[in-house]
């Protein structure tokens, strides 16, 4: 099950505890994001929260607006944080950027703890803006950092740890309020605890970021070769004169030189590179992946799960929380299967297309049930019918289709599809797109349920269907392709055959390279790099 598809012969030492531990520590950022995305919906539904901020005195329209604002300012902050992380990573590096943005998040989480009925919702809204800035910056940095550390054969699996952290955080976020309703009477403390738990993964990331190493690729790009080589050898667990290290350094140097020739060095050069159609095209593809991801309906469910389950016919706060908690368990279990087996074996394209087809079918069924049974209107008070049970089953089946496909795969693709000089800006664009579409969905979901009812599910089902031809015709398979060869991958047409052609070319080049430099030491690095640069020029 754990067999690897390698682009070249790789020493076993490369797949070591250091690279996995660094990825896991960085992924505490996604625990923050996952928890924050999951706990807010059920916290807003707590009677203690509702009573303290007088939700019951508000009209339905006003309450929908208040809830939408509390949820959506987080995404608005994350949008700007995504671009802010581009600047911090360019000047300070990936590691220091993580330290900066997790500190911003902690400040925001602390601010929320000062809210109460007398002060109003201002501190919560302000704190969520700051927390959003922090997670936006982290969502830019972590996939880039992990992809730059990862050996190609396990890059999907390692970036998948980022997604697993998201689901683990979400699992806690979905269950915490169910536990509180069962064990604690409604009070100010009851709703404050979920807000305080945000500080746990943030604190782990803050401490862990003091241990992890800076990305060698970033250091090479900044001309800090000695530290870059030292970090690379530590991460790969190999000596500097090992042929694998020699070859990797040569490839990194060649890519950096290629980018300097075709993109240019400097903070603003990647922006200028957007004038090139092939660069702009990848930015477009990365952003569209997150349009389709959010168009699946996942964030409507994440942020407003009690509302979603009520529309199906689930009644009672405790029952709604329990159903939401099971949703979190299903997502978490399927994510483990995704990162251990599916992402680096089946690849990115197949997962996205199969997930969209299956997920769309489930959404059509749920919407049809709500329409026919008139569920969630208050007219059905006798509990769930057999059709309602089937709708719940299809909801969890939708989760099983969505989670190993559109949940984390867009992050994996965006973390690896850009060249070295445009990677940080490309990931900033991708993360900003995620948070922009996330904001749109979270901001208008309450109003959509009020006005569209069952039509919300048909809307999301239609978008999932439309994503299939987009992936088939426009997104090449990226599994096992070295980061330095992504430019070539996106130039091969048709897209459906690009991966096979490039993998064969890589194998042929690998055999030739090892024949040419057999027995060579690190001194061969410069010569090989110059040869490759001459080929590019």
Q: Which two tokens stand for residue 127?
A: 């704190």
pLDDT reported for residue 352: 95
- Inter-CA distances, 310 with 118, 318, 396, Å: 31, 12, 15
Please determine, for residue 203, whether its predicted confidence score (pLDDT) is greater than 90. yes
Instruction: Give the residue numbers spanning the domain of 529.
Output: 494-535
Residues in the chain: 537
Give, in degrees to the nearest 5, the angle at Cα 304 between 298 and 307. Answer: 115
> What is the reported pTM?
0.73
Please determine, for residue 524, whether its predicted confidence score (pLDDT) is greater than 50. no
For residues 160 and 250, membership in a common domain is answered with no
Which whole number is the average pLDDT over 254-260?
81
Question: How much of the chain exceeds pLDDT 90, in percent?
Answer: 32
How many domains is the chain built from? 4
What is Dmax (Cα atoms) for the chain?
A: 79
For residues 234 and 122, membership in a common domain is answered with no
Distance CA 428, CA 281 (A): 15
For residues 424 and 346, membership in a common domain is answered with yes
Alpha helices in 93-154 (DSSP H): 94-112, 122-149
pLDDT reported for residue 5: 66
pLDDT reported for residue 304: 63
Whether the ω angle into residue 494 lies within 30 degrees of 0, i.e. cis, is: yes
The mean of the pLDDT values for the chain is 84
For residues 408 and 465, membership in a common domain is answered with yes
Least confident of 138-152, 252-266, 372-386, 449-463: 372-386
CB neighbours (10 Å) of residue 505? Answer: 13
**pLDDT per residue as tens digits for the range 205-225:** 999 998 999 999 999 989 899
pLDDT reported for residue 533: 43
**pLDDT per residue as tens digits for the range 85-116:** 888 988 999 999 999 999 999 999 999 999 88
**pLDDT per residue as tens digits for the range 295-341:** 888 877 766 666 666 767 666 656 666 776 787 788 888 888 887 78
Distance CA 519, CA 154 (A): 27
Is residue 84 within 8 A of residue 137, CB to CB? The reply is yes
Give me the CATH number covering residue 14: 1.20.1250.20
Is residue 56 within 8 A of residue 44, CB to CB? The reply is no
Q: Count Cβ atoms within 10 A of the Cβ of residue 515 and give its class: 0-12 exposed, 13-18 middle, 19 or more buried.
A: exposed
Least confident of 114-123, 125-134, 368-377: 368-377
Phi, psi of 120, deg, nearest 5:
85, -165
Distance CA 467, CA 479 (A): 20
For residues 20 and 97, membership in a common domain is answered with yes
For residues 400 and 442, membership in a common domain is answered with yes
**pLDDT per residue as tens digits for the range 425-442:** 888 888 889 888 888 887
For residues 303 and 322, membership in a common domain is answered with yes
Q: Which two tokens stand for residue 309?
A: 């389950």
For residues 33 and 150, membership in a common domain is answered with yes
For residues 431 and 511, membership in a common domain is answered with no
Distance CA 31, CA 85 (A): 18
For residues 230 and 332, membership in a common domain is answered with no
pLDDT reported for residue 220: 92
Q: Which two tokens stand for residue 346?
A: 């089946």
For residues 332 and 477, membership in a common domain is answered with yes
Distance CA 446, CA 349 (A): 32
Helix (H) or strand (E) holding 221: helix 216-221
For residues 240 and 178, membership in a common domain is answered with no
Is residue 70 within 8 A of residue 125, CB to CB? The reply is yes
pLDDT reported for residue 439: 82
CB neighbours (10 Å) of residue 244? Answer: 17
Least confident of 49-53, 377-381, 422-426: 377-381
3-state SS class at 382: coil
Q: How confident is the model at residue 384 (pLDDT cuts 50, 70, 90)?
A: low
Q: How confident is the model at residue 518 (pLDDT cuts 50, 70, 90)?
A: low
- Among 169, 189, 212, which residue terminates a domain? 212
């Amino acid at each position: 099950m754990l067999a690897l598809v390698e682009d070249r012969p790789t020493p076993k030492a490369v797949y070591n505890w250091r690279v996995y531990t660094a990825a896991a520590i960085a992924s505490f950022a996604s625990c923050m994001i996952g928890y924050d995305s999951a706990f807010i919906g059920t916290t807003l539904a707590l009677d203690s929260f509702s009573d303290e901020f007088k939700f019951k005195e508000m009209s339905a329209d006003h309450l929908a607006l208040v809830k939408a604002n509390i949820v959506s300012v987080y995404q608005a902050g994350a949008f700007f944080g995504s671009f802010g992380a581009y600047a911090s990573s360019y000047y300070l590096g990936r590691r220091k950027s993580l330290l900066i943005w997790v500190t911003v998040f902690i400040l925001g989480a602390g601010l929320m703890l000062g809210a109460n009925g007398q002060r109003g919702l201002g501190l919560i809204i302000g704190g969520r803006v700051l927390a959003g800035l922090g997670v936006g910056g982290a969502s830019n940095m972590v996939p880039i950092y992990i992809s730059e550390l990862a050996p190609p054969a396990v890059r999907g699996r390692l970036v998948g740890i980022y997604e697993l952290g998201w689901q683990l955080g979400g699992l806690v976020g979905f269950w915490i309020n169910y536990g509180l309703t069962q064990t604690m009477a409604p009070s100010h403390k009851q709703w404050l605890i979920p807000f305080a738990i945000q500080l746990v993964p943030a604190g782990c990331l803050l401490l862990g970021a003091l241990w992890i190493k800076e990305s060698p690729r970033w250091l090479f790009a900044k001309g800090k070769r000695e530290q870059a080589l030292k970090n690379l050898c530590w991460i790969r667990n190999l000596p500097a004169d090992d042929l694998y290290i020699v070859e990797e350094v040569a490839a990194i140097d060649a890519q950096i030189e290629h980018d300097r020739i075709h993109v240019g060095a400097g903070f603003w050069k990647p922006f200028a590179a957007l004038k090139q159609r092939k660069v702009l095209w990848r930015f477009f593809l990365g952003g569209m992946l997150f349009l389709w991801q959010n168009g699946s309906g996942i964030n409507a469910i994440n942020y407003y799960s009690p509302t979603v389950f009520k529309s199906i016919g689930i009644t009672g706060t405790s029952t709604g929380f329990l159903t939401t908690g099971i949703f979190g368990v299903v997502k978490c279990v399927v994510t483990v299967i995704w990162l251990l087996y599916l992402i680096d074996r089946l690849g990115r394209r197949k997962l996205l297309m199969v997930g969209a087809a299956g997920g769309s079918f489930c959404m059509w069924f749920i919407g049809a049930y709500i329409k026919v049974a008139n569920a969630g209107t208050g007219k059905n008070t006798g509990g769930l019918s057999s059709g309602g049970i089937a709708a719940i089953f299809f909801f969890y089946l939708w989760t099983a289709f969505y989670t190993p496909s559109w949940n984390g795969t867009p992050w994996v693709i965006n973390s690896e599809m850009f060249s070295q000089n445009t990677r940080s800006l490309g990931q900033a664009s991708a993360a900003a797109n995620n948070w922009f579409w996330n904001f749109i969905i979270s901001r208008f979901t309450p109003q959509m349920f009020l006005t569209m009812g069952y039509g919300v599910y048909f809307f999301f089902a239609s978008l999932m269907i439309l994503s299939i031809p987009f992936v088939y015709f426009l997104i090449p398979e990226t599994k096992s392709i070295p980061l330095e060869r992504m430019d070539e991958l996106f130039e091969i047409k048709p897209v459906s055959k690009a991966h096979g052609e490039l993998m064969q070319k890589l194998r042929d080049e690998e055999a030739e390279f090892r024949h040419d430099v057999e027995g060579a030491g690190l001194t061969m690095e410069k010569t090989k790099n110059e040869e490759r640069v001459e080929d590019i020029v």
